């Protein structure tokens, strides 16, 4: 059984929804001795929700030190030059990292992640993709500016770099000779927008808090509902590659 731990609050519902989906992609291959690496992990990554040792690769751990988790072994590095030998890990993860890379280095980063994945292992990469995500990121940045007087901390970078297109990345992965490549969608656009409006933009705050919306019980309820709304027009692409 996967040792998952979802202690949902208004401040972690967004990463919790992403990592819940990724943990679901590991259920059929789970073993207690899986060697897992997360590329672009920050100071916690999946270990905020998974009670299992993980090697995290990042170039700026200090930006998320407030989330530091002892289950994450920090390794300084970049996605295009991972400091590991070939076939070092059973599972390689990368969540919401590709869109922060310049377009010309996304292919080398994908190749590196597959290089360190052992035969029989699984790679899971998620990223906002295509016109739907671009439209939603533009809406989020504009709404955040109106509410807080500054650009949203990550939506503006998405827009500056240009978002990845899911199908070309999936075709690239398939060309590298894996056993299986699956492309899925995650985060139904209206549900994603509602979540960001309440917990990122903080629309209506503090009145929404007084009404009980910005509370832990409400965040937990929304997590249970939004976790399953992953059809139709979605914000995020999920690439699953079995080597």
| pLDDT for residue 125 | 98
Q: Which residue has the tokens 């933009």?
A: 201
What pLDDT is stored for residue 142 in this prediction?
Answer: 94
Strand locations in the chain, DSSP E? Answer: 36-39, 54-58, 72-76, 89-95, 117-128, 180-188, 234-242
Mean pLDDT by 10 residues, the chain (243 residues): 93 93 96 97 95 95 88 95 97 95 93 96 96 95 93 90 93 92 95 89 70 81 90 94 95
- The per-residue pLDDT for 161 is 86
Q: Which of 190, 194, 172 is nearest to 181 (CA)?
A: 172
Q: What Cα–Cα distance (Å) separates residue 38 from each residue in 79, 206, 219, 227?
A: 10, 36, 26, 21
51 with 71: CB under 8 angstroms? Answer: yes
- Domain regions of the chain by residue span: 13-242
CATH architecture of 13-242: 3-Layer(aba) Sandwich (3.40)
- pTM attached to this predicted model: 0.93
DSSP 197: H
């Amino acid at each position: 059984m996967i040792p998952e731990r979802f202690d949902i609050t208004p401040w972690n519902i967004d990463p919790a929804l992403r990592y819940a989906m990724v943990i679901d992609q590991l259920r059929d291959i789970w073993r207690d001795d899986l060697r897992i690496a997360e590329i672009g992990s920050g100071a916690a990554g999946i270990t905020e929700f998974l009670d299992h040792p993980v090697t995290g690769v990042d170039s700026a751990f200090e930006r998320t030190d407030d989330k530091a988790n002892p289950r994450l072994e920090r390794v300084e590095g970049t996605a295009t030059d991972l400091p590991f030998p070939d076939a070092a890990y059973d599972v390689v993860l990368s969540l919401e990292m590709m869109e922060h890379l310049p377009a010309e280095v996304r292919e080398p980063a994908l190749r590196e992640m597959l290089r360190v994945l052992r035969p029989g292992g699984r790679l899971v990469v998620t990223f906002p993709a295509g016109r739907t995500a671009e439209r939603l990121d533009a809406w989020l940045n504009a709404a955040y500016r109106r509410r807080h007087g500054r650009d949203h901390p990550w939506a503006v970078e998405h827009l500056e770099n240009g978002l990845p297109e899911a199908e070309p990345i999936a075709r690239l992965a398939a060309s590298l000779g894996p056993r299986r490549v699956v492309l899925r969608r995650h985060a139904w656009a209206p549900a994603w927008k509602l979540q960001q409006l309440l917990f990122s933009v903080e629309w209506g705050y503090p009145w929404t808090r007084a009404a009980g919306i910005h509370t832990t019980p409400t965040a937990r309820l929304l997590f249970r509902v939004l976790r399953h709304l992953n059809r139709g027009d979605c914000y995020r692409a999920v690439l699953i590659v079995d080597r």
